[in-house]
Structure 1
Amino acid sequence: MSTVAFLGGGSFGTALSIMLAKKGLKVNIWDRKLSVIDDINIKRENIKYLPNVMVPAGVTAFIDIEKVISDSDIIVLAVPSHAIRDLSKVIAPHIKENQIVVSIAKGIEEGSSKRISQVIEEEIASNPIVILSGPSHAEEVALDIPTTVVVTSKKMEYARIVQDVFMTSKFRVYTNEDIIGVEIGGAVKNIIALAAGVSDGIGYGDNSKAALMTRGMSEIIKIGTKLGGKTETFYGLTGMGDLIVTCTSMHSRNRRAGILIGKGIPMDAACEEVGMVVEGIKATRAFYALKEKEQISMPITDVLYKVLFECKDPKYGVHELMSRNRKDEF
């Protein structure tokens, strides 16, 4: 049986740790916060990020990142997308070539527009890299609520190893060779989920959300295929599946932040109230720059960018979307 390390004691990393420990695997968690480590090791609960869920004895938390790395066969980078490069640099001198690196972050790097796998590969060139994505709220994974995800890699034999390690009777793992599509679908849906939350916060209804989700899927496909992803991937778990769950669930930090912004709360205050990283905000800025460079029409991303970073009134943003020149759906 593999030993799995999670670098980052956030909600999803903790949920996956609980799941794997129940399966009988040895799981190590590294986090920089002593309070998180003590809560896991002593109180058997991640009070800050995943309260009211028991952490099994098979999970141990550490402050020493080198120990966690050296003792593990699979290393999961369980930090937000903007922290991936720095964490990869930290672990690069300590990692062994046979260790598999898995990322569960969803986003692209601001400035470079590189996908997460590309960022890791630049810092840790010798190791196999696997991306795990799909509709999977931590709160439900930790409670053994049936969930399906997808894994991908440039070297699919390692994706299949991760598939076997993570598969349980309640957590089904598919493989998909389209690494570009999987990564882009998981990143852009955060933008649409944030927009859906803004719509909810304004007070609009199901019609509005259905429109945002459907036209949002169009934007995901446009940018995703332009970058080399396959259309069918975006109708799968990491596209449509992830879009549905993040646009409709109150577990979604993107939707929750959007609701607050739609009610008129400033972006920074909304993020502070959510209490965790809102990936959709960074994704909006990154994909706005990328779509400008690639000259791709992404009107929802356009309007959301103006709401977030140019103080445009959300209601007027909706008016802009609804008042554009008429066109054929496809």
Structure 2
Amino acid sequence: MSSVDPKLAVLGAGSWGTALAIQLARNGCKVALWGHDAQEVAALRQDRENRRYLPGIALPESLQPNEDLTACIGEAEEVLLVVPSHAFDAVCRQVAAIRPDIRSLSWATKGFDDASNELLSTVVERHLPEADMAVVSGPTFAGEVARGLPTAITVASNRMENAERVASYLHGENFRAYTSDDLIGVQVGGASKNVMAIAAGISDGLGFGANARAALITRGLHEITRLGLAMGGKPETFMGLAGLGDLALTCTDNQSRNRRMGLALARGLDIAAARKEIGQEVEGVGTAREVRSKASSLAVEMPITEQTYQVLYEGLEPSAAVRNLLSREARSE
């Protein structure tokens, strides 16, 4: 690590932000955890646990919740954004206004910018053009990380020295942090897999079975890879933790909010009712729109993404979407 007991700020006190803050604190970092809701932050301070998202898991003493963004990032050596993708631009702009001198900004948000359909690294470049960047991604569920269960993630940066430093904050017992220089590919994999998880949930919810799920995962990986390569990612990234690993996890386990969204849609719920039932942000809903738009602009064929978009935004029946995929013309793989 860059110093003894480094001071870090984690912005976003949901399940994933809290879990990463716990992991950093376990590793000896002094962590300020910021949340936009003052009442929720007060509850974190009082209860010393996130009872809403991670009940029963104590916050380490070196982790201090704070609703004052300026106080949180004022002396931080590293800022880690873990806010929903639709809030990423606004929070990044606030960070830049408070700390225009910041040298490194990392994020564990998985998605595209909802206004521009660009990668989140483009948002960071716009607000903090001189800062090093790093993205944290991979097959992770917040509850398992918070409980200290074995986990492996990827940290990608525009500079390998930066990736190694950020990884060193996270790497510890039962938590392995690999590094990558493919900032583009890791972001594309982490965002796009959420769309495939909705599709897998729809298929499973309709009772189409394990064969269909395996086909969706395999062909979904092809789609993600095609988009990632068109955007400048590296092919090997999509066979790693931020590609195949994250895709397999989120498509097959009901801890995945995106998979649960698909299951709910298959039961006949609309998006609003499904979101209420899930009770947390479901990134894949917005990402389906953004990935479809990006793919169209690059002339990248993404049939699973297209059918998922049609279900979410055009009123297509989930069963019809699956039939549309299965009835596509046969061709070589």
Tell me which interval the TM-score lies in, with the shorter structure as reference length.
Answer: over 0.9
**Structure 1: which 5+ residue stretches go unaligned?**
none
1:325 and 2:329 matched: yes
SS in 1 for 2:293: helix
| Residue number in structure 1 paired with 2:28 | 24
| Residue number in structure 2 paired with 1:287 | 291
Cα distance change of structure 1 residues 7 and 111 upon mapping to structure 2, 3 Å threshold: closer
- 1:34-58 residue CA offsets vs partner (Å, 9 max, x unmatched): 2321222111111122222111221
Match of 1:141 among 141, 145, 155: 145
2:85·2:114 contact (CA, 8 Å) conserved in 1?
no
CA-based RMSD: 1.2
Match of 1:58 among 57, 62, 65: 62
| Residue number in structure 2 paired with 1:227 | 231
| Residue number in structure 2 paired with 1:278 | 282
Q: TM-score, normalised by structure 2?
A: 0.96
1:257 and 2:261 matched: yes
- 1:102-144 residue CA offsets vs partner (Å, 9 max, x unmatched): 1101111134221111111101222211111111110100011
1:7 and 2:24 matched: no
2:111·2:190 contact (CA, 8 Å) conserved in 1?
yes
- 1:236-272 residue CA offsets vs partner (Å, 9 max, x unmatched): 0000000011011111110111110111100111012
Q: TM-score, normalised by structure 1?
A: 0.97
Match of 1:93 among 88, 93, 97: 97
Match of 1:125 among 119, 123, 129: 129
1:72·1:99 contact (CA, 8 Å) conserved in 2?
no
Match of 1:186 among 183, 190, 206: 190
1:75·1:99 contact (CA, 8 Å) conserved in 2?
no
- Alpha-carbon distance between aligned partners in 1 of 2:256 and 2:84, rounded to the nearest angstrom: 14
Q: How many residues align?
A: 329
| Residue number in structure 2 paired with 1:39 | 43
**Structure 2: which 5+ residue stretches go unaligned?**
none
- Alpha-carbon distance between aligned partners in 1 of 2:164 and 2:149, rounded to the nearest angstrom: 23
The amino acid across from 2:323 in the alignment is: H
How far off its partner does 1:71 sit? 2.4
1:194·1:258 contact (CA, 8 Å) conserved in 2?
yes
- Alpha-carbon distance between aligned partners in 2 of 1:24 and 1:8, rounded to the nearest angstrom: 20
**Structure 1 residue runs of 4+, over 3 Å off?**
none
Match of 2:201 among 179, 185, 197: 197
- Alpha-carbon distance between aligned partners in 2 of 1:63 and 1:111, rounded to the nearest angstrom: 26
SS in 1 for 2:172: coil
SS in 2 for 1:52: strand
| Residue number in structure 1 paired with 2:73 | 69
SS in 2 for 1:121: helix
Deviates most, 111-120 or 134-143? 111-120
SS in 2 for 1:295: coil
The amino acid across from 2:55 in the alignment is: P
- Alpha-carbon distance between aligned partners in 1 of 2:294 and 2:132, rounded to the nearest angstrom: 27
1:234·1:240 contact (CA, 8 Å) conserved in 2?
yes
Match of 2:86 among 82, 88, 109: 82
The amino acid across from 2:44 in the alignment is: I
How far off its partner does 1:99 sit? 4.1
1:16·1:142 contact (CA, 8 Å) conserved in 2?
yes
Cα distance change of structure 1 residues 98 and 293 upon mapping to structure 2, 3 Å threshold: closer
- Alpha-carbon distance between aligned partners in 2 of 1:13 and 1:303, rounded to the nearest angstrom: 31
